[in-house]
Amino acid sequence: MEANDYKGRVKPSWCPGCGNHAVLMALKKAMAELNYQTHETAIVSGIGCSSRFPFFMSTYGFHTIHGRALPVAIGLKQAKPEINVIAVGGDGDGLSIGGNHFIHAGRKNPNITYIMMDNEIYALTKGQCSPTSRQGTITKCNPYAWTADRLNPVLMALSFNASYVARSHSGNIKQVEELILGGLKHKGFSFIHIVSPCVQYNKVSSFEKIKELVRDLPSDHNVEDRANAMKYAFSPEGLYTGVFYKINRPTYEERYQEVIKIAKQNITENYSVKDVMKQFQ
Amino acid sequence: MKDLKIKISGTSGQGIISSGDILSYATARKGYYVTTYRAFPSEIRGDGKCYYTLRISEHKALTATGSTDILVCLDEDTIYECISSMAPNGILIYDSNLVKELKVERQDIVPYPIPLATIAKSINSERSRNMVALGIVVGILKNLHLEEQILKDIELRYRLKSQEIIDLNKKALNAGVKYVEENLVRKDLFNKAEMKSTGAKLIMSGNEAIGLAALTAGCRFFSGYPITPATEIMEWLAKELPKFGGKMIQCEDEIAAINYALGASYAGVKSMTATSGPGFSLMQEALGLASMAELPVVIADVQRCGPSTGVPTKTEQSDLFAAMYGTHGDCPKIVLAPMDVADCFYQTINAFNFAEQYQVPVIILSDASLGPRRECVDLIDIENIKIVNRQKPDLKEGDVYNRYQDTETGISPITSPGDKYGEHVITGLEHTEANAPTPDPNVHRQMTEKRFRKLETAAGQFSKAKTYGDDDATIGIISWGSTSGPVFEAIDKAAGKGIKVQALYPRTLYPLPTDWIKGFIKNKEVVIVVEANYNAQFKSTIVERCAHINKGMEVLEFLKYDGTPFTPEEIFEEIEKVAKLQEEKNQLSTNKHTHF
């Protein structure tokens, strides 16, 4: 497969200069590398600028409702584990309205990849503060002052026990592709946080500022050391990028296969609804 | 004796539900018909009251509500609460260790003070008062020959606990039976009570019937969040689905639950969720997504008193508007309501078939009186149940597949991830036939019509509305869901008194089967809509959509919203009242006529 084979029927509607274009290309390249078949892959999203993603792909896709990409994606994967499932969305979609699902995705460890494009703002509704907006952000909805602290998506994912946690920014397409590739290959819930400031509505954050902040995780960082990963995620010094954490543990689907195995222990091979009926006789 | 009602009552934690369950299984397995009604508080222990009513009969009974023949009280409070609902000549069994002086004025009943605590103590199991009391009932109804079967059922119920528990319960039951034989001076009329056994049948609860139907219909994915009184559906499916390679997923909330089900349905697997009012409110947005994206999904709403947390364990039929109109936008869906446990099974089969065939969300409206109610169901011919699967397109390489192709029926063939050449993106945004989002006015109009056309196609397939009673009656009753049982019984009662009434029970509530309703009301002078809610939700729908075809007809409402189900008696009284008014009115108009 070539990256171009994943081009969807609909032309990307994002603004020129938006970092999402880079993420789209990076995902296509990573998928091509793994030879993902379009009919065996599903991209699931919620609502927001970045959530338009599935329309721009030639795979199966489900553009759901605000905040619900993860539960739909996890349900899909659990129902048909052989499908490659990728959830995509923004910071408002995944951390605010859909925040609850993010928590439980980490703990359940479904074998899906979740790419969060964090533009630090609600852009589709024309610029309101999101859970990752920085101090000093003034919008029409908070015209006088900034009123709440930011969330830290990487730290959150680590504490929810996501089994692959990585971060990059859309100005570094090579790293984005590398991290997505790592996420797709990883067996378990992989979370990739991509900082991608909105070129239209974000007056506080910009590509230039992000570039000043970013630094690579030290090469000797042990990706199985969650406490240490949290330390870097927490660091006030700058924005660390790379793989924070990667650990192998059974996936949600594998664990349910165990359930099926146990449930089938004491039944015959051709167990049918007729046998089920016996409990009611 | 053809028909007998037993009520066991007491305080939460005294084993009321266990003894009621054991008795209902045993009577069914002896070949009698049994239907039950359970009422319990939300607290697990504490001083909330539990009531378990069983109606044992030779013919299928439609409700267990109404007057009691044998009342068994394990505490004192429920004696005074339940005494007024006893039938004349009924038996009251109570614990004389607990109640020293019975302050009951009714002279037409037979009280049996039994030292339940002393008997339980004599077998070293003070906690087994419930089983001793059950033994008393079994002893009194000696001619129903229940003892042997109950001992078997005790074993079945506690087989996963311990042999010690099984033995204690058996001992307690035997001690109760023995007490009747040796010590009880009989003053009641049940000494010779006999009943005809009518052969093999099934016994299950409304919730279990929904689970069984889901499994039969091919549902292999259930996602849910625990909520009274619907949890039993997910518990049952958690046990059975994995045996079939299916999955029951407990989610973080009801929003997740329905969205998991939509993800699974998109994957091509028949999916369902079940909930009650609060959860149903949370699911509304995703329900609209299913409608817009045209994804099959089944949602069982086991209604309870609302709004908000309401009365979690008590029944109401107040989610009808939420089911019909809860989601924003023009939202095609199908709403079905079963009337009894057997109907829970067949309506759930219909729900899956409709969902798959018409690619819409289908809502089943059960309720707190029906979900936990255990009752007999005639044998189900499980291998001959008609199962419908979603229509797939026939695709080959190079074909352009349009997911939302506009068709005569409104139904567009559907593919799922994994199907070659069928890749597409579905969305809650308005979209073209080629599934591209668009705000185009013409497309929104066309696609709205296409989605609703599916319901027109479906309407021809709906199970016929059921009528009951006299075709010539000028008094009609329309009811829905579990209220129809007591309505039908009230009609029998009225017929016995020479009052002609006919009932209509529409199985499908949305889209409203207007043709059947219009046909029914055509020759009626008065129609009473009986339902368990304050707003007369179904009545207002009928008045709005159907009543204009019979302008001379009066549409009345008979409502209940105290958390308890209707009894045939109260509906009968209403019928009597209306019949009398009707007679006076007709007389008046005849007189007027003569006068002029």
| CATH number of the domain bearing residue B257 | 3.40.50.970
**Which pLDDT tens digits describe chain B residue by residue (596 residues)?**
789 999 999 999 999 999 999 999 999 999 999 999 998 877 776 788 999 999 999 999 999 988 999 999 999 999 999 999 999 999 999 999 999 999 988 999 999 999 999 999 999 998 999 999 999 999 999 999 999 999 999 999 999 999 999 999 999 999 999 999 999 999 999 988 889 998 889 999 999 999 999 999 999 999 999 999 999 999 999 999 999 999 999 999 999 999 999 999 999 999 999 999 999 999 999 999 999 999 999 999 999 999 999 999 999 999 999 999 999 999 999 999 999 999 999 999 999 999 999 999 999 999 999 999 999 999 999 999 999 999 999 999 999 999 999 999 999 999 999 999 999 999 999 999 999 999 999 999 999 999 999 999 999 888 888 999 999 999 999 999 999 999 999 999 999 999 999 999 999 999 999 999 999 999 999 999 999 999 999 999 999 999 899 999 999 999 999 999 999 999 999 999 999 999 998 888 877 655 54
Q: Is A44 on the interface with B (CB under 8 A)?
A: yes
Contact (CB<8Å) A79/B268: yes
Q: Is A71 on the interface with B (CB under 8 A)?
A: yes
Tokens encoding B388:
């419908």
Give the per-residue pLDDT at B594: 54
Contact (CB<8Å) B423/A103: no
Contact (CB<8Å) B263/A73: yes
Indicate the residue among B170, B200, B230 that finishes a domain: B200
Determine which of A51, A76, A268, A274 to mutate to test the interface with B (most B C-beta atoms within 10 Å): A76
Same domain, B274 and B350: yes
The whole-angstrom distance between B404's CA and the closest CA on chain A is 14
CB contact set of B328 (below 8 Å; sequence gap of 6+): B284, B285, B288
Q: Which of helix, strand or coil describes residue A70?
A: helix
**For residue A134, which amino acid is it?**
R
Same domain, B86 and B215: no
Q: Is A258 on the interface with B (CB under 8 A)?
A: no
CATH number, position B549: 3.40.50.920
Same domain, B276 and B425: no
Q: Which of helix, strand or coil describes residue B52?
A: strand
Contact (CB<8Å) B249/A267: no
ipTM tops 0.95: yes
Give the per-residue pLDDT at A203: 82
Kindly identify which residue of chain A lies nearest to residue B237, measuring between CA atoms: A276
Nearest to A68 among B215, B216, B286 (CB): B286
Torsion sign (Cα): B494, B495, B499, B502: positive
- Residue A279: closest CA among B303, B25, B207, B36: B25
How, if at all, do strands B466-469 and A84-90 pair? unpaired
CATH number, position B117: 3.40.920.10
Contact (CB<8Å) B259/A75: yes
Q: What is the residue range of B339's domain? A: 203-384
Contact (CB<8Å) A78/B256: no
Same domain, B223 and B354: yes
Same domain, B350 and B210: yes
Nearest to A80 among B203, B417, B427 (CB): B417
Q: How many CA atoms lie within 13 A of B222 on its CB side?
A: 35
Contact (CB<8Å) B418/A39: yes
- Residue B371 has φ and ψ, to the nearest 5°, of -60, -55
Give the per-residue pLDDT at B436: 95
Q: How many domains does chain B have?
A: 4
| CA gap A44, A79 in Å, rounded | 14
Distance of CA A214 to the CA centre of its chain: 20
Q: What percent of chain A has pLDDT over 90?
A: 94
Q: What is the pTM of this model?
A: 0.96
CB contact set of A240 (below 8 Å; sequence gap of 6+): A167, A214, A215, A216, A217, A232, A233
Torsion sign (Cα): B563, B62, B35, B190: positive
| H-helix segments, chain A | 20-33, 69-79, 91, 99-108, 153-159, 173-185, 207-213, 226-234, 252-264, 273-276
Contacts of A277 in chain B (CB under 8 A): 202, 212, 380, 382
Same domain, B414 and B312: no
Domain A3-280 architecture: 3-Layer(aba) Sandwich (3.40)
With b meaning 16 or more CB within 10 Å and e meaning fewer, what string describes B115-152?
A: bbbebbeebebeebbbbbbbbbbbbbbbebebbebbbe
| CA gap B72, B134 in Å, rounded | 9
Nearest to B268 among A44, A80, A280 (CB): A80
The whole-angstrom distance between A205's CA and the closest CA on chain B is 30
Indicate the residue among B463, B494, B524 that finishes a domain: B463
